[in-house]
A and B are shown apart, each in its own frame.
Chain A
Amino acid sequence: MTGPRSLVRRLAAGDRTAYWFVLPYAVFFCAFVAYPLVFSFILVFHRWNVVTPMEWIGLKNFDRLIGDGLFYRSLLNTLTFLVIHIPLQAAVALGLALLLNTAIRGRGFFRAIYFLPVVVSGVAVTILWQQLYSYDNGVLNAILRAAGLGRVPWLVDPSMAMPSIAIMATWKNVGIYIVLFLVGLQNIPRELYEAAALDGARPAAQFRHITLPMLNPTIVVIIVLSTIGGFSLFIEPYVLTGGGPMQSTLSGMLYIYNQAFSFDHMGYAATLGFVYALVILAVVMLQRRVIDTELTP
């Protein structure tokens, strides 16, 4: 029989190495996850500009947020972005992946080119697209003019600016999803198509009843990751439009950043971050629930 004391010692000796191994993570977790989470709960009840002492203001930050038109505007802008970005990205990625998944030469080459914007810095991509989108001498409008079409006010028109950013973000990120769709397509057992062909199913029916259902997991990943990405949208509007014209590209993250660093409203910025985090969790959970009920047989 081992006494409780020697048991503790034995366990501790066996555990000690493991605890040394996880110690760096524990320190990191306390500093950069636990502390900020706790501190965010405190900060939302305060007014603070970092320099002067914190001032307790109760629920005033939340009061203000409920009546804050810019908060709703930033939510609406994010929604606009997502409504365009997600279907566009899924359609382009699936289309190119289907093309790449056929018997073609140079698959690796095409895949590498489509993936190129993914690795390049978002700042460089945004500066580049600022020129492509330029109204007077942008590349896109030059091409449209050469084709005998009119110019498009990509970033000038408030109703066009966010869709333009969504198109740019699709161009930047679609490579990841092409690769994911390719993996998904290659995991579909060939026998399914052979059996369907024997039953006389046409290619369109095969696509509808085999390919699409088998790609569901990939589609879910696209929806969830694009949603999280959409809520994190920052550098694109920051560089491209500064949130304008007429706040039409003010994203949630940009609004938080402005409140914190243009106006030194740390308490209110933290409140915005807090509420945005809740919105993101709610949206992602809602998406999962809808997907689970709609897509699973």
Chain B
Amino acid sequence: MKTALKYLLLAGGALAFAYPFLWMLAGSLKPELEIGDLNIFAGTFSLRSYAQVLLKIPIGRAFLNSILVSAASTASVVVFGSMVGYALARLRFRGRATLYTVILFTMTIPFQIVLIPQYILMVKLGWTDTYMGLIAPTMMSAFSIVLFRQFFMAIPQALIDAARVDGCTEPVILFRIVWPLSRPVIITVALLTFMTNWNEVLWPLMVVRDQSLMTMPQIVTMFSTGGQAETQLGYLLAAASLLSLPVIVAYAFFQRYFIESMASTGLKG
């Protein structure tokens, strides 16, 4: 009896989290008048909403923009972040302790204070309405540096010493010896960075007005608030579905990595 109640509660929870998404997908595939129906399996199948979204906004282009921006910032955070993390963990240099303190300090700065000045910097550099404006401020992450540093501290010194005796330079040691041993932290940082940038919408709204440069969440936001959806529920649900599906598909395959990576953000507090 008690077990039954437990499963009932768990299943109720699962329904509360999954049903809205299923309803959204179902609604995007129904004609406008049948969307209000709570039964997600009933009704007529129609691709009209998707056709209209594709017609009204360049969402395919936005998808590619999002991939470009997220991939570039992920590559940068992984490569440059691991270099800084490695220097902090395994290289001796003057100012190392200070640098680490500064990096920890930057994590405590509320972003509200730097947001407007960052935007103005973009204006001054002429980077509004450019990919550079979208990518540059995301190319480093203090949190990722801290994760890399922690991981690299645990790598045996003997391994690094042996490589140095063999005449390996530090970049070779980092990218050829340390990296292959660091898959968990690289996956965590890469997934986290990609996800954060994929879902970011405030910054794109600030620096990009040109529709051809908009990221996917941005263009869907504009579609929803700008009146282009013509208050057609189906169009909105189709746009939201197109925005969610790539992530949901990726999540279905790499669910464990997603959960471990995203939960690690909670451990920094």
Residue positions of A touching B, CB distance < 8 A:
11, 14-15, 17-19, 21-22, 24-25, 28-29, 31-33, 35-37, 39-40, 43, 50, 96, 99-100, 102, 104, 106, 109-124, 127-132, 137, 139, 142-143, 146, 171, 175-177, 179-180, 183, 220-221, 224-225, 228, 231-232, 234-235, 238-239, 242, 252-253, 256-257, 260-261, 266, 269-270, 272-274, 276-277, 280-281
Contact = CB atoms under 8 A, between A and B. Distances in A.
Contact of A242 (B202, B225, B266): B225
Contacts of B103: 25
Interface string B19-32: 01101100100000
A19 B30 CA distance: 59
A276 B116 CA distance: 13
B17 A139 contact: no
Contacts of A171: 16-17
B237 interface: yes
Contact of B259 (A15, A110, A115): A115
A99 B10 contact: yes
A119 B220 CA distance: 17
Interface of B: 6-7, 9-10, 13-14, 16-18, 20-21, 23-24, 27, 35-36, 38, 80, 83-84, 86-88, 91-94, 96, 99, 102-103, 106, 108-121, 123, 136-137, 139-140, 145, 169-171, 174, 195, 198-199, 201-202, 205-206, 216-217, 220-221, 224-225, 233, 236-237, 239-241, 243-244, 247-248, 251, 255, 258-259, 262-263, 265-267, 269
B106 to A, nearest CB: 5
Contacts of A25: 80, 84, 103, 140, 145
B118 A36 contact: yes
B28 to A, nearest CB: 10
Given A121-B247, A142-B36, A221-B266, A114 B14 contact: yes
22 contacts: A21-B84, A21-B174, A22-B87, A22-B99, A32-B137, A37-B114, A39-B121, A104-B10, A119-B195, A119-B247, A121-B201, A124-B220, A127-B220, A142-B38, A177-B266, A221-B266, A221-B269, A228-B110, A232-B112, A238-B221, A261-B205, A273-B114
Contact of B113 (A121, A232, A277): A277
Interface centre among A17, A106, A269 (most CB of B within 10 A): A17
B111 A232 contact: yes
A77 to B, nearest CB: 15
Nearest to B246: A121
Given A131-B24, A257-B205, 18 more contacts: A18-B170, A25-B140, A29-B102, A31-B121, A37-B117, A43-B116, A99-B9, A113-B13, A120-B248, A121-B216, A123-B199, A123-B201, A130-B236, A131-B233, A179-B262, A221-B269, A238-B225, A239-B225
Nearest to B169: A17
A32 B9 CA distance: 47
Given A32-B136, A99-B6, A280 B110 contact: yes
Contact of B84 (A11, A24, A257): A24
Given A104-B6, A179-B263, A261-B206, A40 B17 contact: no
Contacts of B140: 24-25, 28-29, 32
Contact of A123 (B94, B221, B267): B221
Q: Main SS of chain A's interface residues?
A: helix
Contact of B83 (A22, A109, A119, A177): A22
Contacts of B84: 21-22, 24-25
B236 A127 contact: yes
B170 A21 contact: yes
Contacts of A18: 87, 91-93, 96, 170
Contact of A15 (B27, B94, B216, B220): B94
Interface centre among B109, B113, B202 (most CB of A within 10 A): B113
A280 to B, nearest CB: 4
B44 to A, nearest CB: 18
Contact of B114 (A33, A96, A235): A33
A122 B224 CA distance: 13
Contacts of B9: 99
A256 B112 contact: yes
A221 B267 CA distance: 7
A271 to B, nearest CB: 9
A143 B38 contact: yes
A109 B111 CA distance: 35
A253 B202 contact: yes
Given A21-B86, A25-B140, A277-B113, A266 B93 contact: no
A116 B170 contact: no
Given A131-B236, A171-B16, A239-B224, A266 B116 contact: yes
A123 B243 contact: yes
